[in-house]
């Protein structure tokens, strides 16, 4: 584990974000550099990818989720170590993967993207148990990713309830 005794402030945006491709990706292609609510901006940046992922067969989307999670464990850990900050608020790859989890097997359409965005942000911000415990006690790239993976799973479950419950009666008319 890297010595984080000489940490930089979490709100500091290092210039490496624009020079180092790993930092640029971890910072959501630059969205994590925005001064207010970088997790929300990172979640928004994830949305345009969803129609592409939805073109994959269900198993292909699932495979993409597995690969982006595994990549995220490494990426978030590496960038956190590089920056000497446990979980820099600008690292938003975890939010992007959480959004993609939320929207797996959800119908196409802007209303579903909007509902998924709101659901994921609620679970990510409120951090119900065990998300809050993991956020506080699991460190490194796994810790950075795992709370957002679980927020994505919780939001996915809520979205599936909408898809299979109310979705068949009213929301499909909007989407």
Q: Is residue 146 part of a domain?
A: yes
Give the torsion through C-alpha atoms of 155, 69, 46, 34, to 10 deg: 100
- Count structural domains, the chain: 1
Q: Is residue 25 part of a domain?
A: yes
Residue 3: pLDDT over 50 = no
Q: Is residue 21 part of a domain?
A: yes
Mean pLDDT of the chain: 89
Q: Is residue 7 part of a domain?
A: no
Q: Is residue 24 part of a domain?
A: yes
Report the distance separating Cα 85 and Cα 87, nearest Å.
6
Domain that holds residue 86: 16-174
25-73 per-position pLDDT tens digit: 999 999 998 888 999 999 999 999 999 999 999 999 999 999 999 999 9
Confirm if 22 and 75 have CB atoms less than 8 A apart: yes
Give the torsion sign (CA, 48, 74, 13, 144): positive
Report the distance separating Cα 145 and Cα 98, nearest Å.
9
What pLDDT does residue 11 have? 61
Q: Is residue 8 part of a domain?
A: no
Token look-up 């925005």 returns 34
What pLDDT does residue 169 have? 56
89-144 per-position pLDDT tens digit: 899 999 999 999 999 999 999 999 999 999 999 999 999 999 999 989 999 999 99
Higher pLDDT among residues 83 and 10, named by residue = 83
* Model pTM score: 0.87
């Amino acid at each position: 584990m890297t010595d984080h005794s000489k940490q930089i402030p979490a709100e500091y945006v290092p210039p490496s974000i624009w020079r180092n491709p790993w930092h640029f990706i971890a910072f959501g292609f630059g969205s994590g550099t925005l001064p207010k609510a970088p997790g929300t901006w990172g979640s928004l940046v994830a949305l345009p990818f969803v129609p592409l992922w939805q073109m994959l067969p269900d198993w292909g989307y699932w495979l993409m989720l597995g690969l982006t999670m595994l990549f995220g464990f490494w990426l978030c850990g590496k960038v956190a170590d590089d920056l000497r900050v446990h979980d820099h608020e600008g690292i938003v790859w975890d939010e992007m993967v959480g959004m993609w989890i939320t929207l797996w097997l959800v119908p196409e359409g802007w209303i579903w993207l909007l509902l998924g965005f709101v659901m994921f942000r609620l679970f990510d911000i409120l951090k119900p148990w065990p998300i809050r415990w993991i956020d506080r006690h699991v460190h490194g790239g796994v810790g950075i990713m795992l709370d957002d993976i679980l927020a994505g799973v919780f939001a996915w479950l809520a979205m599936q309830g909408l898809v299979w419950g109310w979705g068949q009666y009213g929301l499909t008319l909007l989407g």
